[in-house]
Amino acid sequence: MLQGGYAADFILGLTVESLNGVRNRSMAGGALREADPEFRRVLALMREVQAAGSGAGRVCTTS
């Protein structure tokens, strides 16, 4: 999807639970837990990298 042009922050925000222990938002157990500020920062940086055309489309993610 990243290679298809979808925004990196959108895709990662929907599909990734955590990055190196930095947690995304969650609705586990019916309770909303907001994302760690560092996670939101990573998403913002990924969008910047993608917008700059620096190869963010080749990012590999695993959960």
SS3 23: strand
- Percent helix, strand and coil across the chain, each rounded to 5? 45, 10, 45
- Token digits of residue 13: 């925000």
**Residue-wise pLDDT tens digits, 1-58:** 878 889 999 999 999 999 999 999 998 888 999 999 999 999 999 999 988 986 544 5
Domain boundaries, the chain: 8-54
